[in-house]
Amino acid sequence: MNRARAALGTVARHDDRRRSFPQVAPREAPDGRFAATWWGNAWVDALEDIALDPARLARGKTYAGRGHVDAITVTPGRVVAYVHGSRPRPYRTEIRMRTLGDDGWEEFLDGATARPDHIAALLDKDVPHALEAVAGLLPAPGDLVPDCSCPDDGHPCKHAAALCYQAARLLDEDPFVLFLMRGRGEQELLAELTRRNAARSAAEAGAAAPPMPTVPARTALDATGAGLLPLPAPLPFPDRPGRPAVFPPDPDAPDPLALDLLATEAAARAHAFLTTGLDPVAALTPWQDAVRLAAVHPGSGLTASTRALYRDLARALDRTPTDLARAVAAWRQGGAEGLAVLEEPWDPPAGPFDRARPALLAAGLPAFRPWRNRLSGRSLQLRLGRDGLWYGYESDADREDWWPRGDPDHDPVDTLDGLLGR
């Protein structure tokens, strides 16, 4: 078949407007919520707004939680799956909605490319709240139309409700599923975002570029002149690193987010070396550099792509994602010194450490037990860094699971007051 296609000059192409997702594993939801993102919750709200019978919603949520929804297929305007009910044969269940017109997509794309952080957020599988106002992107009350092959004429029936709840989980992981529901595939949108972002960047660069000093060619080549003309003065250093190119996804190329991260890092290091003559990360160990990379990544640590970054960096250095997340918190607290405070206990000399305990007692704080450079309570801890600063840590009561919190300070009482919000 492939040879026949090649002979005819055609190549099989990925259908960007049809995505299928395997069955989502059952998941307990203690708080009763099926969505963790604001756009996922908007989807759930639209479902619950159309429901005429709360009991059917509750049964649909139970069906979703027990894994009764099979693989889900999403195409523009439709979400389809087979849902298992009380009978042996599953029911074909469908959710329909209208797709966005050209004007709606123009509004969305204009808003998405208006600011670089909007594009970065979308590439990070996050939807900025500023795009919430785009007309018709998020489902409104009455926007979802359920249909099911079961005999129940509820609106929606429990099978359609289960499909909606499971779809919210897909939206949490990847908002481009929502965009596909509204009519456009991920590759199509990314290509358009890339084109518009490149055009905007070129316009900004053209407006900001300083004029180049020039010499007329006739003057430079005039043999009767008094020798070679002096070279023009060097251009001034840029105020900040340049913006790297946009890397659209390609199935045969490396991960575009990883490429973007590496290009951004290279630009920042080049700018620092150009302006100071020093490489800010040359002396870091591979672990320190991995922590720094994760700490400066624009994601929050909760989005899908950021979780993948944490997982890949941790695996490369034989650590766990939890190890990396804790180290990132320490780096954001105090840079390389904060990471050293997390990982390297030491024996401080007499002086500030010995004076800290009576100072804490005088401030009305409970007694802390000392160990090397650490003072520990039931849920709060202070660590003295080699830089003379006190670093705050928190844990669940009576558990040795300490996480960096707050800003370091020369005064241990002020450090704890910051943790306690006093």
Domain spans of the chain? 19-188, 346-420
Q: What's the Cα-to-Cα distance from 357 to each of 368, 405, 419, rounded to whole Å? A: 7, 20, 17
Q: Which residues contact 347 (CB under 8 A, 6 or more apart)?
A: 372, 373
The two tokens of residue 207 are: 């407006």
Q: How confident is the model at residue 224 (pLDDT cuts 50, 70, 90)?
A: low
Q: Which amino acid is at 106?
A: E
**Could you tell me the pTM of the whole model?**
0.47
DSSP state of 129: G
* pLDDT tens digits for range 47-80: 777 777 788 888 888 888 888 899 999 999 999 9
For the chain, percent of residues with pLDDT exceeding 90 = 16
Q: Which residues contact 308 (CB under 8 A, 6 or more apart)?
A: none
Q: Of the given ranges (7-11, 237-241, 282-286, 413-417), which has the lowest mean pLDDT? A: 7-11
Q: What is the pLDDT of residue 287?
A: 93
Of 83-92, 106-115, 191-200, 333-342, which one has max mean pLDDT? 333-342
Around Cβ 273, how many Cβ atoms within 10 Å? 13
Instruction: Compute the distance between CA of residue 25 and CA of residue 20 in angstroms, rounded to an integer.
Output: 15
* CA max distance for the chain: 100
Q: How confident is the model at residue 202 (pLDDT cuts 50, 70, 90)?
A: low
What are the percentages of helix, strand and coil residues in the chain, rounded to 5?
45, 10, 45
Q: 287: phi > 0 → left, psi -120 to 50 → alpha, else beta; which?
A: alpha
H/E run at residue 371: strand 369-371
Instruction: Compute the distance between CA of residue 349 and CA of residue 59 in angstroms, rounded to an integer.
Output: 64
